[in-house]
């Protein structure tokens, strides 16, 4: 028996061409690379010039596919075993390629059944639908809304929302909308606010938007300044309309008489103006502002995570009017209450650290104002901010106060060893949302009920 040929030395040693075909053209290195490439990508042997490649026929490490029982070959015995079935994607070689006047026949396989479409990620691999995504898609089971919301919260706490390295998730924005119970906002409503042009605070908005997360490349790559201006301007118009309702027409004398009879007392001059409009409130603090500095940073993560400006508008407007209206009032009284609560909670959780900071004159008003106002959005990286917000929106934005205390606790050793902690606290270390959330949950058990009640109400 002849010795086993070497795969590398025998690749160019093909069968000699027939006389009718004439001498074969010399094989180029490029063509040899094509043969080797095809050999490595297929799991069956293929023949050239009617002969199998030695590296395949003699077991070069590529597993051969079994020949179907009903396959027919041109030879007998061992020649049939060496003659494999052609891959259905293989084309017939032209005469110029093979060096023979006889073209290799194209053998086709019956068409395969079309597979159902599967969900794939950006890499093209199959992705199993997560429980969070399934719950958001299917909605509450049997109308049990409260139970479903509780299940959503537990999923957020126990499992991180699936996202890519940039923090982008296909269903995070819908999670936020569901947790806040925000109904869909018509696109025309948002466009109508945008088309009204410049709001009364347009100049203030333009003075802030260009520096919003200016050092964050992820935000700059995804969110334009123009979209940030449009959204803030639209929210400003919405707040302006709420605080300054359109004047109603003066009621007729008959309607006025009926109204007086209904309340059993005539209206006084102080209760109704000469134009028949309700009296304007003199307390501008209670009335609120339509834009304050810092709203641009608070708005940024909504725009980054949303799939459209309309979704970001619905979330941001709800947040500043329902969840934290005290943060955007003219005097920002909610933010100042939050700062005082940072000091109180730090005294409860870590009295030694609090005492050291107070001895250095370091109250929270000197270092924690941006973190309170923006829900830690001022501290990079942005993907960690989004992860932290998943937790805050699930269990309440008031927990941001304890998240700030958790960041101080993680800096404890460096602060206690520093003679000037104000330098350390000018900028907090990069966020690590998992560790901050874990500490925050442990701190909740230490907070007395009355202080926790103040946490819940401080931003209202």
CB 205 within 8 A of CB 197: no
Q: What integer pLDDT is reported at residue 111 of this predicted model?
A: 54
Strands (E), 20-156: 47-48, 51-52
Partners of 52 in the beta sheet? 47
The token duo for 137 is 């898609």
Which DSSP symbol is given to 306?
Answer: -
CATH 3.40.1190.20 fits 332-460, yes or no: no
Domain ranges in the chain?
1-63+84-103, 182-246+286-326, 332-460
CB 377 within 8 A of CB 297: yes
Contact assessment for residue 228 and residue 300, using Cβ atoms and an 8 Å cutoff: yes
Q: What CATH number has the domain spanning 182-246+286-326?
A: 1.10.8
Residue 378 contacts residue 371 (beta carbons within 8 Å): yes
Distance CA 174, CA 168 (A): 13
Cα–Cα dist 200/177, whole Å: 29
Please, which residues have CB within 8 angstroms of residue 241's CB and are 6 or more apart in sequence? none
To which residue do tokens 């003066």 refer?
Answer: 250
pTM: 0.66
Pairing mode, strands 47-48 and 51-52: antiparallel
What kind and span of H or E run contains 111?
A: none
Report the alpha-carbon distance of residue 402 to residue 430 in Å, rounded: 17
At 51, give phi and psi (nearest 5°): -125, 145
**pLDDT value at position 253?**
55
CA 130, CA 151: separation in Å to the nearest integer?
Answer: 14
- Report the pLDDT value the prediction gives residue 386, as an integer from 0 to 100: 97
Contact between 315 and 321 under an 8 Å Cβ cutoff? The reply is: no
Please give the distance of CA 153 from its chain centroid, rounded to a whole number. 17
Q: How far apart are CA 315 and CA 320, in angstroms?
A: 9
Q: Assign residue 417 a region: left if phi > 0, alpha if psi is -120 to 50, beta otherwise?
A: alpha
Q: Would you give per-residue pLDDT tens digits along the chain (460 residues)? A: 444 444 444 444 444 444 444 444 445 554 454 444 444 434 433 333 334 434 433 344 333 334 444 444 444 444 444 444 444 444 444 444 444 444 434 344 555 555 444 444 444 443 445 677 788 887 777 777 888 888 889 989 988 898 999 999 988 999 999 999 999 889 999 999 999 999 999 999 999 999 999 999 999 999 999 999 999 999 999 999 998 887 655 545 555 554 444 444 433 333 333 333 343 343 434 456 899 999 999 999 999 999 999 999 999 999 999 999 999 988 899 999 999 999 999 999 999 999 999 999 999 999 999 999 999 999 999 999 999 999 999 999 999 999 999 999 999 999 999 988 998 999 899 999 999 999 999 999 999 999 999 999 999 9
Assess contact for 393 and 161: CB atoms under 8 A.
no
CB atoms within 10 A of CB 400: 26
């Amino acid at each position: 028996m002849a010795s086993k040929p070497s795969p590398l030395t025998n690749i160019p040693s093909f069968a000699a061409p027939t006389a009718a075909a004439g001498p074969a053209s010399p094989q180029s290195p490029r063509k040899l690379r094509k043969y080797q490439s095809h050999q490595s990508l297929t799991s069956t042997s293929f023949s050239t010039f009617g002969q199998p490649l030695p590296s395949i026929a003699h077991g070069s490490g590529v597993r051969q596919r079994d020949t179907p029982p009903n396959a027919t070959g041109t030879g007998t015995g061992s020649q049939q075993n060496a003659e494999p079935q052609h891959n259905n994607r293989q084309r017939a070689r032209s005469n110029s390629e093979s060096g023979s006047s006889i073209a290799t026949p194209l053998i086709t396989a019956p068409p395969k059944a079309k597979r159902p479409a599967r969900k794939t990620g950006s890499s093209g691999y199959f992705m199993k639908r997560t429980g969070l995504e399934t719950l958001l898609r299917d909605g509450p089971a049997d109308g049990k809304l409260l139970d479903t919301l509780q299940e959503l919260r537990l999923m957020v706490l126990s499992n991180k929302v699936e996202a890519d390295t940039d923090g982008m998730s296909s269903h995070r924005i819908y999670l936020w909308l569901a947790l806040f119970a925000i109904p869909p906002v018509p696109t025309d409503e948002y466009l109508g606010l945008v088309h009204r042009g410049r709001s009364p605070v347009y100049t203030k908005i333009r003075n802030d938007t260009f520096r919003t997360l200016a050092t964050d490349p992820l935000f700059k790559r995804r969110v334009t300044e123009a979209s940030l201006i449009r959204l803030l301007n639209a929210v400003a118009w919405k707040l302006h309309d709420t605080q300054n309702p359109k004047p109603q027409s003066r009621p007729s004398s008959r309607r006025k008489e009926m109204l007086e009879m209904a309340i059993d007392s005539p209206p006084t001059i102080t209760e109704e103006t000469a134009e028949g409009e309700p009296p304007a409130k003199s307390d501008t603090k209670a009335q609120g502002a339509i834009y304050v500095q810092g709203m641009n940073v608070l708005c940024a993560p909504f725009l980054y995570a949303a799939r459209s400006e309309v979704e970001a508008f619905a979330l941001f407007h709800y947040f500043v009017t329902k969840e934290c209206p005290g943060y955007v009032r003219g005097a920002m009284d909610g933010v100042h209450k939050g700062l005082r609560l940072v000091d109180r909670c730090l005294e409860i959780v870590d009295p030694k650290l609090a005492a050291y900071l107070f001895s250095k004159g370091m109250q929270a008003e000197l270092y924690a104002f941006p973190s309170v106002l923006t829900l830690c959005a001022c501290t990079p990286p942005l993907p960690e901010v989004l992860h932290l917000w998943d937790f805050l929106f699930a269990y309440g934005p008031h927990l941001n106060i304890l998240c700030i205390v958790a960041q101080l606790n993680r800096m404890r050793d460096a602060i206690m060893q520093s003679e000037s902690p104000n330098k350390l606290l000018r900028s907090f270390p990069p966020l690590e949302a998992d560790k901050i959330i874990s500490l925050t949950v442990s701190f909740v058990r230490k907070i007395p009920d009355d202080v926790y009640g103040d946490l819940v109400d401080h931003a209202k």
